[in-house]
Chain A
Amino acid sequence: MLKAVIGLELHIQLLTKSKMFCGCSTNYGDPPNSNICEICLGYPGTLPTVNKEALDMGIMLGLAVNCKINKLSNFYRKNYFYPDLPKGYQITQFDYPLSENGFLEVNDKKIRIRRIHLEEDAAKLFHKDRKVLIDFNRCGIPLVELVTEPDISSPEEAEEFLKKLKEIVDFLGISTGKMEEGALRCDVNISLMNENGGLGTKVEVKNLNSFKAVVKALEYEIVRQNELLSKNKAILAETMTFDEEKEITIPMRSKETLNDYRYFPEPDLLLLSITDEEIEKIRLNLPELPQSAHSRLIRDYELSEKDAKTLISSKDILNFFDKSAKIYNNYKEIANWISSEIFKNLNKSKKSIKETPLSPENFVKMLILIEKGEISGKIGKTVLEEMMLTGEEPEEIMEKRGLIQISDINALTSIVEEIIANNPKEVSIYRSGKKNIFGFFMGEAMKKTNGKANPNLLKEIMLKKLDENVNG
């Protein structure tokens, strides 16, 4: 198989309050055509004005990926007709973009970033029967376009790049980076390097709506292109769309057979000028980036690589960890519970940790109860699940659901005696010296008490009873 040469073109929706060129709200999920005005609808006589926050966010991203910020940059018009483009042109950047020549490290490899620039989003189209329906709420929302050099060599590397970039925009607070919400969009271009080291024909793939789709599309293309070449067939320089169901790429019937966009400088806007002082101010105020957080977690909390990687998957998760770690110092335990039970519950409810009422304080309270042996790990999981739904304190939940531990010695003793009486075979195995079977008795006791037996006490009593008879 020939080596793949992959480049990515990303569009990232920015979390500004208002649109790129007008004051309309960018709020997601509002009723159709409720966040519109004459400007974003391209009414005759209207003019654009530039959102300062969008510019600052663009600079933040540029700095976070080691780009040079251009002190002078310019807006351009990209001219083409499409129903989602009210003015018949998109205001974007062309020559003189906001920033250039950066990189992002992925698995110790530098993926170079060619450029980052600002532009406006288009409206949302819906196809119903044979009709085209348009919602202009999205039209004009600020976008950052990020283009990489073709430094990526595998679908996995592409996915890793996307994951890292998502973490960065999340940590910067400039975008949710969620592909499923359209906040992060990715087109890929891929060619195969031929035997002489030269680049083969470049194929572009669009309509990729998830990390998985990106990987699948690239995998498919690599196979497809290799096959064509092995049969001495030519690869066409075309644009493909990805069929999610069949997981294949198919040629896109180009709407714009003409890619003559007639770029020219936007005459309604002047030069964008950014001073060194402004850039420095933004740099100093950059929030902690995933890379630093990762190092910090390993250094300050002695967590493993794996744990650190999991905890930086989202800023909210990291915040939750940090807050928990401030009040409880069993960091490994916190990390474990987050990466297993909390993640599990979040996936089930399809919520983010911010959207659940679970507080770090309550979470830690629960961990402490387990540490003290007042509840078992199993009960803890149940309590956690409940806390994530109701936000109540662990004790409240335990009381409500009757999860209070059985700590009464007499009660426990009778249970232990019952189990010993009912399992003579296992008892003799234990007493013959095979102490490993101890877990069986604990398990049975837990089953019998629905996990409510105080583990420490139970263990104490169980050991005593099992060893007692031996000694006669």
Chain B
Amino acid sequence: MKNKGSLGILNFSISELKTLYKNGDLTTLDVISAYLSAIKENEPRINAFIEVFEEEVLKEAERLMKLKSLNLPLYGVPIAIKDNINVACHYTTASSRILEGYKSTYDAMVVKKIKEAGAIILGKTNLDEFAMGSSTENSAFKLTRNPYNEECVPGGSSGGSAAAVSAKEALISLGSDTGGSVRQPASFCGVYGIRPTYGLVSRYGLIAFASSLDQIGPIGRNLDDTFLLLSVISGKDTLDCTSLDIKNYDELPDEDMVGNFAIIREFENISIDKEIAHKYEEIKKILLKSFKLKEERFPHFNYALPTYHIIADSEASSNLSRFDGIRYGKREEASSLEEAIKLSRTAYFGKEVKRRILLGTFALSQGYIDKYYKKALQARNIIRNELSLILSESDFILAPTTPSLPFKFGERKDPLEMYYSDIFTIPSALADLPSVSIPVGLSKSGLPIGIQIIGGQLSEKKLYKVCKLVAEELNA
């Protein structure tokens, strides 16, 4: 084992690790030990992990060392998994007290795939309870801190996954994105995050929040690593009827560029942090070197937030009905079965979860369903059509990822204020579109800024090229 120094190891990308593994310069044990040390050192401050698989991880590293299959795409790559994704024989909490004690009996499809690809799962990361939130403050267990400024939130709901990668406690991680929950924390933590085309990645094993919006997405420190992880987890799953008929990432179309990119007037009318605006303009200039700009309209933009919350909360209110303490999870005893169920749910669901369940129940209830839920479905169709139209003439849409810099803990107490963080990430989620958040630099105060590239359905390969172009220009 060459003495590369623990810190050095943490900086290697997946392809660099691959080379080092192949040459015998590094072993999986070296790498895992380095990451475990990093976790030990950083966790007391960052709190990205709910659980670290300390013993198992070393055993797994040893097992992989003995394998000759160095050609596995994620061989010996340390990965963290958001704790709303099932990993067999381990606790999965969704950062909720109602699932305390629940041990997964099966691997999510994405977990199966990364295991087969040779990755080593370091542990499960913190999130907003049931993925409901934009700051990870809604976790029932711990507060995850932004590695760039520990008084600030890491974003959410995949705050733990983004922070772990950002703090170099993991090389890559998996999060889930419903209205921005991979992209926004990636942006806040200065790392890459991808929300895939809806249906490209199987949802089987992801604890459902909003079924028609949830997607599992990769988070990484560089573009290639992040897209590599995406390619490993993509592909049709017969257990998930909503997954697309795309066998694997390779089968995605590799289309030529049209040569245009779009900016949306309604987006640009939103007032955002000055420094974010500045970076946004900078990126625009970079893109103008290779693409023509098209200014487009998005007439139903101001319906996006209500549409999202009504649909997501409605589906969530139904998806969370299975948590009654009867078959698994935490249960209360009471004088009647009805009481017992109510007690469990009331005691063990957090405030935000209860709010959303009640809002969703409202939107679906007799007397209101036509005005709320059904209207939201219609609005969603319109939004889909408007964005599709824009993307029929442009290769991608440029947008900020978030309207503000990472904010401080406790700063966004009002739900609406918090929901506003997702204003730029919600529309593409509603339209089932893929979208990447790339880190484009720091603010004067040292806080990360991210920019979003939104593509048409199944345009991930195009998005990669665009992101590569931007990343290379920025690094130059």
Residues of A within 8 A of B (CB): 38, 41-50, 77, 79, 81, 83, 86-89, 132, 134, 260, 262, 264, 267-270
B128 interface residue (CB < 8 Å to A): no
Q: Do B321 and A267 have beta carbons less than 8 Å apart? A: no
Q: Do B322 and A45 have beta carbons less than 8 Å apart? A: no
Contacts A41-B327, A79-B364 hold; do A47 and B240 have CB atoms under 8 A apart? yes
6 closest pairs, A vs B, by CB?
A88-B321, A262-B364, A267-B211, A267-B212, A44-B207, A42-B322
Q: Do B322 and A88 have beta carbons less than 8 Å apart? A: yes
Q: How far is the CB of B70 from chain A (nearest CB, A)?
A: 32
Residues of chain B contacted by A41 (CB below 8 angstroms): 327
Q: Do A262 and B324 have beta carbons less than 8 Å apart? A: no
Q: Do A81 and B242 have beta carbons less than 8 Å apart? A: no
With beta carbons under 8 angstroms apart, the residue of A38, A44, A49, A81 that contacts B208 is A44
**B300-322 Cβ-contact flags toward A at 8 Å (1 or 0):** 00000000000000110110111
**B220-263 Cβ-contact flags toward A at 8 Å (1 or 0):** 00000000000000000011111000000000000000000000
Q: Determine, out of B20-28, B160-168, B283-291, B365-373, the stretch whose residues face the partner at the interface.
A: B365-373
Q: Do A132 and B337 have beta carbons less than 8 Å apart? A: yes
User: Is chain B's binding surface mostly helix, strand, loop or mixed?
Assistant: loop
Q: Do A45 and B86 have beta carbons less than 8 Å apart? A: yes
> What is the interface residue range for chain B against chain A?
35 or more
Q: How far is the CB of A260 from chain B (nearest CB, A)?
A: 5
Interface residues of B in 330-357 (CB under 8 A from A): 337, 341
Q: How far is the CB of A238 from chain B (nearest CB, A)?
A: 19
Residues of chain B contacted by A132 (CB below 8 angstroms): 337
Contacts A88-B321, A260-B365 hold; do A47 and B241 have CB atoms under 8 A apart? yes
Give Cα A47–Cα B104 distance, bound, in whole angstroms: 15
B396 interface residue (CB < 8 Å to A): no
Contacts A45-B205, A89-B318, A264-B364 hold; do A269 and B241 have CB atoms under 8 A apart? yes
Give Cα A134–Cα B327 distance, bound, in whole angstroms: 10
Q: Do A77 and B241 have beta carbons less than 8 Å apart? A: no
Q: Do B106 and A38 have beta carbons less than 8 Å apart? A: yes
How many Cβ-Cβ contacts under 8 Å join chain A to chain B?
94
Among B102, B108, B241, B323, the most chain A Cβ lie within 10 Å of the Cβ of B241
Residues of chain A contacted by B361 (CB below 8 angstroms): 262
Q: Do B369 and A262 have beta carbons less than 8 Å apart? A: yes
Output the nearest chain B residue to A262 by Cβ-Cβ distance.
B364
Q: How far is the CB of A318 from chain B (nearest CB, A)?
A: 40
Q: Do B318 and A88 have beta carbons less than 8 Å apart? A: yes
Q: Do B366 and A270 have beta carbons less than 8 Å apart? A: no
Residues of chain A contacted by B369 (CB below 8 angstroms): 262, 264
Q: Do B241 and A270 have beta carbons less than 8 Å apart? A: yes
Contacts A42-B327, A45-B207, A88-B318 hold; do A50 and B241 have CB atoms under 8 A apart? yes
Give Cα A97–Cα B19 distance, bound, in whole angstroms: 58
Residues of B within 8 A of A (CB): 85-86, 92, 94, 99, 102, 104-106, 108, 203-208, 210-212, 238-242, 314-315, 317-318, 320-324, 326-328, 337, 341, 361, 364-366, 369, 373
Output the nearest chain A residue to B328 by Cβ-Cβ distance.
A43
Contacts A43-B105, A44-B207, A267-B212 hold; do A87 and B322 have CB atoms under 8 A apart? yes
Q: How far is the CB of B393 from chain A (nearest CB, A)?
A: 29
Contacts A260-B365, A262-B361 hold; do A88 and B324 have CB atoms under 8 A apart? yes
Q: Do B203 and A47 have beta carbons less than 8 Å apart? A: yes
Q: Do A44 and B92 have beta carbons less than 8 Å apart? A: yes
Give Cα A50–Cα B323 distance, bound, in whole angstroms: 24
Chosen A-B contacts, 26 in total, with CB atoms closer than 8 Å, are A38-B105, A43-B106, A43-B322, A44-B94, A44-B207, A44-B208, A45-B92, A45-B207, A46-B204, A47-B240, A49-B241, A77-B318, A83-B326, A88-B321, A89-B318, A132-B337, A134-B326, A260-B366, A262-B364, A262-B365, A264-B373, A267-B210, A267-B315, A268-B242, A270-B241, A270-B242
Give Cα A264–Cα B108 distance, bound, in whole angstroms: 26
Q: A46-B205, A88-B322, A260-B365 are in contact. List 19 more A-B contacts (CB 8 A).
A: A38-B106, A43-B328, A44-B102, A45-B85, A45-B86, A45-B204, A48-B241, A49-B238, A77-B318, A81-B324, A88-B320, A132-B337, A262-B361, A264-B314, A267-B210, A267-B242, A268-B241, A269-B241, A270-B242
Q: How far is the CB of B83 from chain A (nearest CB, A)?
A: 11
Residues of chain B contacted by A268 (CB below 8 angstroms): 208, 211, 240-242
Residues of chain B contacted by A88 (CB below 8 angstroms): 318, 320-322, 324
Residues of chain A contacted by B314 (CB below 8 angstroms): 264
Q: Do A47 and B204 have beta carbons less than 8 Å apart? A: yes
Residues of chain B contacted by A264 (CB below 8 angstroms): 314, 318, 364, 369, 373
